[in-house]
Copies of this chain bind each other. A is one copy, B any other.
Amino acid sequence: MARATAAEATTTSSERILAAATSAFAELGFRGTTTRDIAARAGMSPTAMYVHHRSKEELLYAISLVGHQRLLAAIQEASAQGVTPTQRLGSVALTFGAWHAERNVQARVVNYELLALTPEHYGEVAQLRHGIDTVFRSIVAAGVATGEFDVDDVSMTCVSLASLGVDISRWFRSDGEWSTEQVAAHYRDNALRIVGARGQAGSAARE
């Protein structure tokens, strides 16, 4: 199903292996995937694959690390595009929602297979997750400080915001009835409602 096609032949072997491992982990789970499954999806022999990656865990670590790094960079950039907390949260939510819809296969691996990482690798990824939480937290706290947001428990609200975005990767499929853009816009509107953004709680939050 994910065997290399002619069009993919230009990608490097390492990229092919990472893509194959991502699809296998998402479909079969980390523990349900064998090195042989990954090699078959990458269109190479297990021996050829071994040259690039020594273990399944190393592949999961590479996928998790790059996935979290890119998501963190994307939402930091999105946050900088707004001035007020409402604008910043709207921008970050749109990016966060789109990321989990568009890259739902990668996002499922990144979010649901975390505990299969070695403690050392988990620690590194946890730091990046903490960075993602910090982006949400700084915006929500700023909105509470300016009076734009109405939030009783900043920590719980930040967990809810991330949670609603992460779960998009569980249910969203690109061949479903809604587009990535629709899902991301709806997630942004929900995020603004959850923080009680003034003037956003009613229909004004909907486009």
Choice from B33, B163, B178, B183 contacting A164 with Cβ under 8 Å: B163
* A131 sits at the interface (CB 8 A): no
A120 close to chain B: CB less than 8 A: no
Bound form: Cα–Cα A167–B111 in Å: 11
Q: Which residues of B contact A203 (CB under 8 A)?
A: 150, 152, 196
A152 partner residues in chain B, CB cutoff 8 A: 203, 206
Instruction: Point out the residue from B29, B150, B167 that lies within 8 Å of A167, measured CB to CB.
Output: B167
Q: Which of B166, B178, B194, B201 contacts A202 (CB 8 A)?
A: B201
Question: Does A186 reach chain B (CB closer than 8 Å)?
Answer: yes
Measured between beta carbons, the chain B residues less than 8 angstroms from A193 are 193-194, 196, 201
- A96 CB within 8 Å of chain B: no
Residues in B with CB closer than 8 Å to A157 are 186
With beta carbons under 8 angstroms apart, the residue of B29, B178, B190 that contacts A29 is B29
A186 and B32 contact, CB distance less than 8 A? no
A160 to chain B, nearest CB (A): 5
Q: What is the interface size of chain A, counting residues whose CB is below 8 A from a CB of the partner?
A: 35
Task: Give the residues from 68 to 95 in chain A that come closer than 8 angstroms, CB to CB, to chain B.
Answer: none
Name the contact of A156 in the complex, choosing from B32, B156, B186 (C-beta under 8 A): B186
Binding site for B on A (CB under 8 A): 28-33, 111-112, 150, 152-153, 156-157, 159-160, 163-164, 166-168, 170-171, 178, 182-183, 186-187, 190, 193-194, 196, 201-203, 206
Interface pairs (30), CB distance under 8 Å: A28-B31, A29-B32, A31-B31, A31-B32, A32-B32, A112-B112, A112-B170, A152-B203, A152-B206, A156-B178, A156-B183, A156-B186, A157-B186, A159-B171, A160-B164, A160-B186, A163-B167, A163-B168, A163-B170, A163-B171, A164-B164, A164-B167, A166-B167, A166-B170, A167-B167, A193-B194, A193-B201, A194-B194, A196-B201, A201-B201
